[in-house]
Structure 1
Amino acid sequence: MLVPEKNNLLLEVKELVKVYGSQCSYCLKLTGAQAERQLCPECGSVVACNRISLKLHAGEILGVVGESGSGKSTLVRCLYFDEEATGGEAYLACYGEGKINILQENAQRKRYLCNYLLGIVYQNPQLGLNFNFSCGGNIAEKLLAAGVRSVDQVRQSAARLLVKTEVPVERMDELPGNFSGGMQQRVQIAKALAHNPPLLLLDEITTGLDVSVQARVLDLIRQLQHQMGIAMLVISHDLGVIRLLTDRTLVMKNGQVVESGLTDQILEDPQHPYTQLLVNSLL
């Protein structure tokens, strides 16, 4: 696996589309930010993502912000293959020399991508963790999928990852249900990092957590990114999270990107009326 050097392009997404429903020729034209709707008036389909394009560089943290229902989480689910994109392209520089559209790969190749090149942390830990396995068992599951076969090596790696994510190693054999919400997110992060992927997808990972717990989880994310140099795509409705973590930001509304740029620039001088509304709500 050849991981691009820092600042080199790692992920490029072109015109990604996700439509729920029968879809007609008017879906993309009659929905989006300007139309202020995601429901196609012609066929009743929901256009969750309407021609989303983005670039993410190695070692960079890119934020995607928008209100609930804007399509940002659907974007991540398509990139991790939890959902099948309706159209568009996505390329990873460390896969097929960056020339293969990963959205069109078969199920076996998509499993390879998830097992070796992509990690994800969900808002709901029950999506990312098997609550019937111990927290060490959850990490082991990812390591085994990535080809690690030695039991001793699996256990040592799991313990190392728990230390890295500040989970007490002595609790490695406990079930995730015994952990607090913040600790469950830490176990999810450890699992997502098990195979040392070049790209980590974070989907609303602090939503629903107490403010003090949120702060500790965000500090952990920043610390891990600094240590590992991993690229991250951070999905959030909270501009405070975006401001704390990200280098650049995309603003989504009704399934489309309405503004993009350096995070500081967007927060200090928002151009789109919707971005201005988001920023004003933060003040």
Structure 2
Amino acid sequence: MIQRVLVDGREHDRISVGDRGLHYGDGLFETILIRDGMPCLWDRHMARLALGADRLGLPRPSPSMLRDEAVRIGTELDHGLLKLILTRGVGGRGYRPPATPHPRRILLSYASSPSSDPWIDGGVAIRFCETPASVNSHLAGIKHLNRLDAVLARREWDDPEIAEGLMCDEAGSFVGGTMTNLFVWDGVALATPSVTRSGLAGTVRAVAIEAASRAGIACVERPVTRRMIEEAVGLFLTNARIGVWPVSRLADRLLDPERLPLDLLSAVRRTAHTPEWSDP
């Protein structure tokens, strides 16, 4: 449930019907885990937001301003989420963006209670999706507002036992989950789908790649095929909200999360769930 909303720094929940985020998905968003009133991976989220703003030609919002606003609505949460939406603001009819945009900032806080943890409960069940992931190298990696492929993929199941669905592009290369990044473990090394043509450069994905390097575990960013997934010793998923989810079942195949590099996953989870503020 939404706790509080700030629109351009003001506490209200109304925006113009002319906002280009509504009309065209012309904008970006970040979903940030809050622990003990503080955000996790703040610097990584701000770096991705800046990359996305540059890619879309949006003026970058002031980091100190975003921090101040995040403090205003996030510090009251023991556990929850902060969603930051940045749109190009109001523009005229048609796709052509205004020459001088006036971006709109929307911050929403969500309180949540820690639920059962798949890490403790033995992993999650996932499935394959039929809806293909969009391919666009200019939009790949950034967290833009156009998520209809994930929306359609998520409509494919309503079984509460299925936590996530894996998506591939039209060529059959896997991109990740509807809301997660995918890692494939062959018993020696990790592979994760490249995000140069499709998919999202997840904040925890980056943490996992860096942690693998420090641990001396090879982690290759490459096209991931269905055969690789079906022959994998283990799979795990990452995103900012969940941290790390080991996979215990994919479709009808059972997997043993104990065969994953658990020390690595523990390190990733610990980093993903550690609150921190950077210097403004």
Question: What is the TM-score of this pair, normalised by structure 1?
Answer: 0.27
Larger proportion of helix: 1
What's the TM-score, normalizing by structure 2?
Answer: 0.27
Which is bigger in relative contact order (C-alpha 8 A, separation at least 6)?
Answer: 1
Determine which structure has the larger strand proportion and give its number.
2
